[in-house]
Amino acid sequence: MKKTFLLAICLLFSMSIIAQDKLKTQIESIIKSIEDEHFETYKYLHAHPEVSLMEFETAKKMAGHLEDMGFEVSRNFGGNSVVGVLKNGKGPVIMLRTDMDALPIKEETGLPFASKAVMKDAAGNQVPAMHACGHDMHMTLWLGTLNTLVQLKKQWSGTIIAIAQQAEEVSGGANRMIEAGLFQKFSVPDYALAYHVNPELPAGSIGYYPGTIFGGVSSVDIHVYGYGGHGAMPHTTIDPIVLASRIVLAIQTIVSREIEPSQPAVVTVGSIHGGSKHNVIPDRVDLQLTVRFFSDEVYQQIIEGLERITRGIALSAGLSEEKLPEVIPLEGLTPPLANDPDLVNKGIQSMEKMLGADRMFEVNPSTVGEDFGKYGRTPEQVPIALFWLGGVEKEKYRDYRENGTPLPGLHNAAFHPDFFPTFSGGVAAMTRTMIDLFNEE
């Protein structure tokens, strides 16, 4: 009896392995059959970028593809964003998100389908446009994954919510969708997933971190006031240029001396403007800062430090209360992107089945910002996971590792991923992850 039971267990295990191998083969076969078609889509998207809040034609194209695949589509949701819903029986609800917007950068890749676009941005300025952050690749991966899942509908059961989001680069798109009632008008996802192309990992590999993978981002304006006058008689003034210079140096101690060393943070002054003439001391100097952080508590500590230090320096120079500096955190705060560790670990297990352990890389957190994290901070507390997807061509990656040859980074005019291995690896890994999540019960 015991021997029969053990044989039955072994048989079931063997059947499970065979089924997994069959699913792997099916996914790879579908990807092979669609990659050329999706390369044409990628080339079109790359050559026709639209900057943040201006993604009108891009959104139409994403909506059209979803409708062709049988999704129920809501256009212009919270702006230019698109929501597609595909119900395939009972089961979990999984959200898959892509961003759509490009950057105001003049492309210098030399690709035959390079962008030559010049367009009006949301403020009405004429700007060049380029997908220098890989959002064209994100959209193509998103479409490829959805296409593969539709062809494998017999292999899973549940609901897909497909999000094509506007304005990630200015950190406004996710907020607008949430404020428009994304999780009230559609099912609350059990999981939410996304990719971001990585400029330092080999094409088709996965970078993961089971925790806060991207930092929070805030822009801060500081207005420094003084009493202007003649440059030859500085004793009759309180010089805001000198005060601003003292402030720039003093606020560096917030990170180096006030924040616990185990908590990463950045305070960078990116712009300083004041004065109009060689011999005139102005009344005001303006500073523009970027702040990066990995917890809400550290962010509050930075803002409080900026207010205290600027106030103290102004008072020490003899300024009155009404002339103290203003510290103004701007709207559009991007919180840290906190991956759900359990969801990341589930994803790793699924992705490894398709790509192998040698293409899985645990990465360090990065101080770049990404508003995908906002979907995980709503009252619904949706578990989220964003994975890096390597995009570097094989020989360039080897040269980078062996010789230190620089690679174009994100937001660089020469950046572009190596399409075919990035596409095939990314679609295979995400498709398998979603199928396994749908079937986990």
* Catalytic site positions: 99, 169
The CA distance from 372 to 174, in Å, is 7
Residue 209: both structure tokens together: 């971190």
Cβ pair 333, 216 in contact under 8 A: yes
Instruction: Name the helix (H) or strand (E) containing 396.
Output: helix 394-403
Residues facing residue 207 across a β-bridge = 361, 388
Strand order in the sheet with 206-208: 72-77, 81-88, 158-165, 93-99, 191-202, 384-392, 206-208, 360-362
Enumerate residues 6+ apart whose C-beta is below 8 A from 67: 73, 84
Amino acid (one-letter) located at 10: C
Cβ pair 323, 225 in contact under 8 A: yes
* Alpha helix positions (H), 120-278: 135-151, 173-179, 182-185, 240-250, 252-253
Q: Which of 214, 234, 206, 198 is nearest to 400 (CA)?
A: 198
CA of residue 360 relative to chain centroid, distance: 19
**SS3 label, residue 425:** helix
The CA distance from 174 to 165, in Å, is 7
Angle at 88 between CA 85 and CA 94, to 5 degrees: 55
Residue 58: both structure tokens together: 């891009």
Residue 105: both structure tokens together: 């950068």
Q: What are the φ/ψ torsions at residue 21 (nearest 5 degrees)?
A: -60, -35
Residue 321: both structure tokens together: 């209360």
The CA distance from 252 to 267, in Å, is 7
Cβ pair 83, 66 in contact under 8 A: no
